[in-house]
Amino acid sequence: MSRFVSPASLDEALEAQSQAGAQALAGGTDLMVTLRKARLSGGQMPKLLVDLSRLLELQRLNLEGGAPYLGAGLTFRFLESNPLVTERLPLLARAAASVGSVQVRSTATLGGNVANASPAADGLTALVCLDAVAEIASPRGARHCPLAELITAPYQTTLDLDEIILGFALSPPPDPAGQAFLKVGRRGEVAVARLNLAVALDRDMADPRVVLGSCFPTPRRLADVEGLLKGAAPEPALWQKAGELAASHFTDVCGWRSSADYKVPAITRCTAQALSRAWSGLEAAS
């Protein structure tokens, strides 16, 4: 049976996490499912569960200064309802609102979503669009790692066993009005994404960002689509062309597998729709 500790400080948490067989526990919405399956199948259980919920360092929120930052312990329920998040980072707030049920969102954390590294993680797709860099602590000190380097494959990261994600430094788009997040699932609520999409546009189309998730091993910025959009005149024909290019990139990378009959038209439509929403938001804010 696993032991359970709930450290009151980061130093205590790092000391506990450095013990052999330790497992960090954030919200637990993914981890507890995994542990239940392991227990029922006779698989290996962690010797020590390290609860991170009491660590104030993981609850930081700074969106008003020049160095925006989100603590890894912030829950999705907090992110979907906090006025600063909904105002400054609406794509993240919408992504958070799409995660599971209210009960799940009240417990699940942003850092846990990243550390679990599911290809379908809604929070992860949003963070990639915000150019998030993870701040990671260990007994050896702190390091900073872009998410593209942190997530290496489905459910795999470069995190060492004694490391804890503290939070994420962001490079948000210049205008919150130009942000959109879309998700496609098998049903309207409490569904794992079959694809998700985060989009950010600025008024000059100088820094377009398009991130597609649940289609590749990790969420991916679509450089070809962003290149098409950069400096272009915004119009419906451009959104449609961008959607077709996004779908083409998907088949180039993944081939025409069984899900392509569904995903290719869905990627095309969702990309065009998300870009249209983002641009409409900018026009409405003018």
DSSP letter string over 19-60? STTEEEESS-TTHHHHHHHHHHHT----SEEEE-TT-GGGG-
**Residue 142 corresponds to which amino acid?**
A
pLDDT in tens, 42-98: 788 889 999 999 999 999 999 987 889 999 999 999 999 999 999 999 999 999 999
pLDDT in tens, 176-192: 999 999 998 775 665 67
The pLDDT value given to residue 195 = 92
Confidence band, pLDDT 50/70/90 cuts, at residue 29 = confident
Confidence band, pLDDT 50/70/90 cuts, at residue 216 = confident
Distance, in Å, from the CA atom of 54 to the CA atom of 6, rounded to the nearest integer, reads 7
Closest of 139, 284, 127, 133 to residue 209, by C-alpha: 127
Distance, in Å, from the CA atom of 43 to the CA atom of 36, rounded to the nearest integer, reads 10
Distance, in Å, from the CA atom of 212 to the CA atom of 250, rounded to the nearest integer, reads 9
More confident residue, 51 or 31: 51
Within the chain, where are the H helices?
10-17, 31-41, 76-81, 83-88, 90-97, 102-105, 110-116, 122-129, 147-150, 223-229, 236-254, 260-285
> How many Å separate Cα 273 from the centre of its chain?
20
Confidence (pTM): 0.93
Distance, in Å, from the CA atom of 56 to the CA atom of 58, rounded to the nearest integer, reads 5
Angle at which helix 236-254 crosses helix 260-285, to 10 degrees, equals 150
CA atoms in the 13 A half-sphere facing the CB of 235: 3
The pLDDT mean for the chain works out to 92
The CA–CA distances, whole Å, from 11 to 7, 23, 133, 140, 164 equal 8, 16, 22, 11, 11
What is the b/e burial string over 122-132, where b = at least 16 CB atoms within 10 angstroms of the residue's CB?
bbbbbbbbbbb
Cβ count near 141 (within 10 Å): 7
Closest of 35, 50, 102, 89 to residue 198, by C-alpha: 89
Q: Which CATH architecture has domain 176-285?
A: 2-Layer Sandwich (3.30)
* Domain extent listing, the chain: 176-285
The pLDDT value given to residue 228 = 98
Average pLDDT over residues 271-278: 97
Closest of 13, 18, 21 to residue 48, by C-alpha: 21
